[in-house]
Amino acid sequence: MSLNFSEIEKRWKKFWEENNTYKVEIDKDKPKYYVLDMFPYPSGAGLHVGHPLGYIASDIYSRYKRMSGYNVLHPMGFDSFGLPAEQYAIQTGIHPADSTRENINRYKGQLSNLGLNYDWSREVQTSDPDYYKWTQWIFARMFEHYYNTKLQKADSIDNLIAEFENKGNANVDAYGSEDRIFTAEEWKNMSDKEKDGVLMNYRLAYRKVGFVNWCEALGTVLANDEVKDGVSERGGHPVVKKPMNQWSLRTTAYAERLLNDMEKIDWSESLKTMQRNWIGRSEGLQMFFDLDGMDEKLEIYTTRPDTIFGVTFMVLSPEHPYVEKLTKPEFEKEVTEYKKYAVNRSEIERTSEKKVTGVFTGSYAVNPLNGKKIPVWISEYVLMDYGTGAIMAVPSDDDRDRAFAEKFDLPIIPVIDKSKYPGSTSKDKEGIMINSDFITGMEVPDAIRAVEDKVESMGIGKKQINYKLRDANFSRQRYWGEPFPVIYDDQEVAFLLPDDELPVELPPLNEFKPSTDGKSPLARNEKWVHEYEGFTRETDTMPGFAGSSWYFLRYMDPHNDDKFASEEALDYWQDVDFYIGGTEHAVGHLMYSRFYHKFLYDLGLVPTFEPFKRLVNQGMIQGVIEFLYLKKDKVNDKSVFVSADLISKDEEEDYAKIPVYIGFVKDYGSPKSYLDKKGIDEFRNWRKEYIDAEFVTSSGTYSAGKTELEDIKFYTLSEIGKMSKRYHNVVNPDDVVAEHGADTFRMYEMFLGPIEQSKPWDTKGIDGINKFIKRFWSLYIDMDDNWIVTEEKATNEELKILHKTIKKVTEDIANLSFNTAISAMMVFVNDAKKMNIHKSEILIPMIKVIAPFAPFISEELWHKAGKEGSVHHQLFPVFDESYLKESTVSYPISVNGKKRGIEEFSKDLSKEELEKKALELKYVQKWIEGKNVMKVIVVPGRMINIVVK
RNA sequence: GCCGAAGUGGUGGAAUUGGUAGACACGCUGGACUCAAAAUCCAGUGAUAGCGAUAUCGUGUGGGUUCGAGUCCCACCUUCGGUACCA
């Protein structure tokens, strides 16, 4: 009755805002600490209970850090460019800026209801021109730089141009994709357009022909997400790869650094493994095969040069430029058809199905080491954008090549004897070479080296390091993204707009549909496109990651109009100490952010070479999805639902699974979830098309609103999955906060389990937290709202309970074990209740201990205690080890490893004394009677084990 | 297929380096208070046998190392994530 949480929440939300409690400024007298959440995309659906899991954890952690004397930067913002707002605009005509603003306001309201301690004065929005001015500015710098392989850092493109003018490009230390060699003279004679083309092959932000998902029927380019099984998700129209000029970022230039610098950061090993796999470094040999009857040579890449004598055919990607030339007339029809087939298949399809496809071109290549002629095939399992788009196939030692050879009846020559290496697979580089000319008899690693040397000495190849990592596609044919600060002259040579014209703002538009030739909607605004006399603007926009790859830097100095952040701010805040977010961003976002950060580091614009020191992935809170089984075919023109207990695994495919609002389902989330009579009626009224449906259960049938069975149980199917509107299982945190209070909601989410672990949302246990908070409150305030804390001196026993709790909570926060920290506080309350503790010496520190977890009631109690300021600016209590000392230890006494009793012994007893006392125990006597005591193991402070025989 | 993580009561989950398995909480059972209910408080709660003391079993399965294994090793099963014909 005295704990009115909604009133308390209102009061302190206002107080914190009025007093700028969470505002932070540079304070050189204090050490800094930067705690960052991955900022959300403000979707129309609002936050669900899954989102706050990470936010609450970082809130607790940052509050604790502030209370430990740090100057804590803990900001929040919005990744507010994105596809959904644009699609919404296409459907409704509402401008993305308007719907985004509305969504952001809703998000902010929801976040503030949770009592999160963000410094909102530092909010950033990626769609705000004051912000994307700097997104464009960084892009411009990338355009102006290339990667210098000697300095191993980004360098001005002007330096490269100077080198070209001096000595051409034969010996430049530049990472790029230019394959022509030219002299200084040739460079000087090039046209502007040619020069632009060459420089594009070196710039870190550059233009090249890339492939987009083009859907002819919709007349638009689709994102990977919008393509399912080779057809558009909307409408199911065919999607093909269409070549278009696209901006890219030369992320591959940084591959080695992105890989190696991971050793220096505190990320989980599994996350680092994911990043490593994405980068995908491999060492191998690049070499040329002669083509029979042709001048061109076929370039391939292999990580297994040792198997070269086992090569029995070559495989080219269907997109390989040589395919046409290699195809003999009599094979043309098949090859053309196969190419058509491959281009209509999405990359996902091409790579995920197990079936083996391919066609012969009619041409042959020549193995340079033994002169053997080998047939050249094409197949979709070879991808154009990895390696050289061509492989030498070794069916004896590669699973895919073997499957291919078996299907098309191609020869298989064994070249490695693995009999000495049991369990070794074709992927393991071990075994002894056979049938292999000059390397026969060698161990595999030696053979690899021997072939590499041989090939290099013959001048037909060289050792090479390859990366799976691809340059990032940086163009989107969309409206709701950052425009490029780029214009083209009539020769299509790209020019940057000067920095003082930034930001290039998105022009107004009243039609957001893409234009039909695959161009971005921006192309519709002719006036804007041709604003510069004689020039045309770039009409593509930047991808989502352009804005989200550097936002953490902007928080340091969000309102600076001269720089993306001042040197002073960067120097003080440095980098993110602690970053928390979902695994779904584990690869893409983190890789791009690291790339951006390293680039800015090279330019001397940020002080650290990695952006995120420590990173934790929170698990997902999943939803329970409840389905009803509906017979796919109607019976007597009626829909028939069948109770889940009546359906066997084999019959499942005869049924459709209809999601049902979980609120109708009894015991939802359990294997025995069911609809009772009321639930069935609720469902029928909710989905009117099923109002006359039949519901078949084991005890009888409910038909068209009638049943004789009062206690009918219609079982439903429970699954765990994403929270989504589609499954009618979204739980809004606002509802939970309104019902139970923000502090309860926060602690409950943390109490559910370890932060990294995914778990289904379930309110079953929330009463436990509610009870705990009420009991905690009742230590301070009685039923009649009287403050009952006394100034009486605390006993040692009481102090011990306090300090034990402080110790446990402190350690658990550091480990992010919030669930056990909360259980320690519960133990405290249980003890304090039992001992009837109401002493301020114990209870005032406890307000501070609970403060990071329950910011509202702790603030209320702090002020009820007559204290000034905010509890969140107090210092966290430090535990005193001297209160924790025990004079006795309780020893488990085991005989042969089986516990037989527990004894309290003084902690000062020696091993020998403990052994003696243990052997004297009555029940020990009973267990060792008639047997020989072999030995007694005494671990002081731990346990005693008596071994008998 | 491969990589990663994980399998512990009816449920969510505890358990430094191998050392009392099941903390804390939910749920359930019984009791107190109440005309009654809610709330609150007290007691019990891994399984089996027994009135009980107690005994036996028990951390996905099967082996192993050890005085001692939820924890380490080997093989396997299941689930969840990620990922792919990457040459």
Q: What is the pLDDT of residues A113-170, one digit of tens each?
A: 999 999 999 999 999 999 999 999 999 999 999 999 999 999 999 999 999 999 999 8
Residue with minimal CA–C1' distance to B25 is A768
Last residue of a domain, one of A883, A910, A932: A883
Domain shared by A659 and A753, yes or no: no
Residue A131 lies in a domain: yes
Residue A417 lies in a domain: yes
Distance measured from the CA of protein residue A900 to the C1' of nucleotide B20, in angstroms: 10
Give the pLDDT score at A863. 95
Distance measured from the CA of protein residue A280 to the C1' of nucleotide B15, in angstroms: 39
Give the pLDDT score at A886. 74
Distance measured from the CA of protein residue A455 to the C1' of nucleotide B11, in angstroms: 65
Q: What is the CATH number of the domain that holds A584?
A: 3.40.50.620
Domain shared by A856 and A870, yes or no: yes
Residue with minimal CA–C1' distance to B54 is A900
Residue A652 lies in a domain: yes
Distance measured from the CA of protein residue A896 to the C1' of nucleotide B69, in angstroms: 14
Last residue of a domain, one of A864, A883, A902: A883
Distance measured from the CA of protein residue A901 to the C1' of nucleotide B20, in angstroms: 9
Residues of chain A short of pLDDT 50, as ranges, are: 1
Question: Which amino acid type is present at position A441?
Answer: G
Q: What is the CATH number of the domain that holds A342?
A: 3.90.740.10
Domain shared by A356 and A381, yes or no: yes
Give the pLDDT score at A753. 87
The nucleotides of chain B lying under 7 Å from a protein CB are 3-5, 11-15, 19-21, 23-27, 39-42, 55-56, 67-69, 80-87
Give the pLDDT score at A190. 94
Helix axes A129-143, A588-602, angle to 10 degrees: 70
Give the pLDDT score at A262. 84
Distance measured from the CA of protein residue A782 to the C1' of nucleotide B35, in angstroms: 27
Nucleotide nearest to A620 (CA to C1'): B81
Domain that holds residue A420: 281-467
Nucleotide nearest to A775 (CA to C1'): B40
Domain shared by A840 and A898, yes or no: no
Nucleotide nearest to A889 (CA to C1'): B20
Token digits for A746? 């926060």
Q: Which of A697, A657, A645, A658 is nearest to A676 (CA)?
A: A697
Give the pLDDT score at A243. 77
Domain shared by A879 and A903, yes or no: no
Nucleotide nearest to A825 (CA to C1'): B24
Distance measured from the CA of protein residue A660 to the C1' of nucleotide B78, in angstroms: 28
Q: What total number of domains does chain A contain?
A: 5
Nucleotide nearest to A759 (CA to C1'): B12
Contact between residue A95 and residue A575 where contact means Cβ atoms under 8 Å apart = no
Domain shared by A659 and A635, yes or no: yes
Distance measured from the CA of protein residue A949 to the C1' of nucleotide B57, in angstroms: 22
Contact between residue A315 and residue A408 where contact means Cβ atoms under 8 Å apart = no
Residue with minimal CA–C1' distance to B16 is A811
Nucleotide nearest to A353 (CA to C1'): B85
Token digits for A313? 């055919």
Domain shared by A460 and A317, yes or no: yes
Q: Which of A884, A220, A724 is nearest to A521 (CA)?
A: A220
User: What is the SS3 assignment for A730?
Assistant: coil
Give the pLDDT score at A142. 95
Give the pLDDT score at A1. 44
Nucleotide nearest to A392 (CA to C1'): B87
Domain shared by A606 and A737, yes or no: no
Cα dist from A901 to A78, A935, A937, whole Å: 59, 18, 15
Q: Which of A523, A428, A549 is nearest to A131 (CA)?
A: A549
Residue A77 lies in a domain: yes
Domain shared by A773 and A699, yes or no: no
User: What is the SS3 assignment for A651?
Assistant: helix
Q: What is the 3-state secondary structure (H, E, C) of A500-533?
A: HHCCCCCCCCCCCCCCCCCCCHHHHCHHHHCCCC
Distance measured from the CA of protein residue A670 to the C1' of nucleotide B79, in angstroms: 16
Last residue of a domain, one of A467, A492, A514: A467
